[in-house]
A and B are shown apart, each in its own frame.
Chain A
Amino acid sequence: MLAALFKFRGGVKPASHKDESTRAPIARAPLPARLVVPLRQSAGGTPLPLVAAGQKVLKGERIGAPEGNFSAAIHAPTSGTVLAVESRTLPHPSGLSAPCVVIAPDGEERWIERTPVNYAAESPDALRDLLRDSGIVGLGGATFPSHLKLKPGAAGRIGTLIVNGAECEPWITCDDLLMRERAEGIVRGIAILRHIASADRVLIGIEDNKPQAIAAMRAATAQATGVEVVPVPTRYPAGGEKQLIRVLTGIEIPYGRIGPEFGVQCFNVGTAWSAHRAVELGEPLVSRIVTLTGNVERPGNFEVPIGTPIDDLLALVAPRADTDRFIMGGPMMGFTLPRTDLPVTKATNCILAASPALFPPTGPEMPCIRCGACTRACPAELQPHELYWFSRAKNFGKAQEYNIFDCIECGCCAYVCPSNIRLVDYYRFAKTSMRALEREKTASDAARQRFEFRNFRTEREQKEKAERLAAKTAAARQAIAGGEKPAAAPTPAATEQTPALPQLDETKKALIAAAIERARAQKEGVQPKNTDNLAPEKLAEIREIEARRAKVREIAKTPPEEPV
Chain B
Amino acid sequence: MVSALLVMAGIAVVLGALLGFASIRFKVKGDPLVDKIDAILPQTQCGQCGFPGCKPYAQAIAKGEAEINQCPPGGEEGIRKLADLLGKEFKPLSAEHGVEKPKQVAVIDEALCIGCTLCTQACPVDAIVGAAKQMHTIVAPLCTGCELCVPPCPVDCIAMVPVPETVETWKWKYPVVPIKLKEPA
Contact = CB atoms under 8 A, between A and B. Distances in A.
Interface of A: 40, 90, 92-94, 96, 98, 392, 394, 422, 425-426, 428-429, 431-433, 436, 439-440, 443-448, 450-455, 529-531, 541-542, 545, 549
Contacts of A92: 167, 170
A530 B112 CA distance: 12
Contacts, number: 88
B43 A451 contact: yes
Contacts of B127: 450
Contacts of B169: 436, 439
Contact of B173 (A90, A429, A445, A452): A429
B9 interface: no
Contacts of A422: 175
Given A447-B44, A450-B125, A549 B172 contact: no
Given A96-B165, A96-B167, A531-B114, A447 B125 contact: yes
A167 B89 CA distance: 54
Contacts of B175: 422, 425-426, 429
Contacts of B41: 444
B114 A530 contact: yes
B166 A429 contact: no
Contacts of B132: 530
A425 B175 CA distance: 6
Give the interface size bracket for B toward A: 35 or more
Given A96-B165, A448-B38, A451-B124, A433 B114 contact: no
B112 A545 contact: yes
Nearest to B143: A447
Given A448-B38, A530-B115, A545 B155 contact: yes
B44 to A, nearest CB: 7
A447 B133 contact: no
Contacts of B155: 542, 545, 549
Contacts of B43: 443-445, 447-448, 451
20 contacts: A92-B167, A93-B172, A94-B170, A425-B172, A431-B172, A432-B172, A433-B171, A436-B169, A439-B169, A443-B141, A444-B42, A445-B43, A447-B43, A451-B45, A451-B124, A451-B125, A531-B114, A541-B112, A542-B155, A545-B112
Nearest to B175: A425
Contacts of A433: 171-172
Contacts of A432: 170-172
A429 B171 contact: yes
Given A446-B142, A447-B144, A454 B124 contact: yes
B116 interface: yes
B174 interface: yes
Interface string B142-185: 10100000000001100000000111011111111000000000
A555 to B, nearest CB: 14
A90 B176 CA distance: 25
Contacts of B170: 92, 94, 96, 432
Contact of A428 (B111, B116, B144, B172): B172
Contacts of B42: 440, 444
B71 to A, nearest CB: 12
B84 interface: no
A413 to B, nearest CB: 14
B133 A530 contact: yes
A450 B155 CA distance: 27
B171 A98 contact: no
B156 A549 contact: yes
Nearest to A92: B167
A98 B166 contact: yes
B125 A90 contact: no
Nearest to B123: A454
B27 to A, nearest CB: 23
Contacts of A426: 175
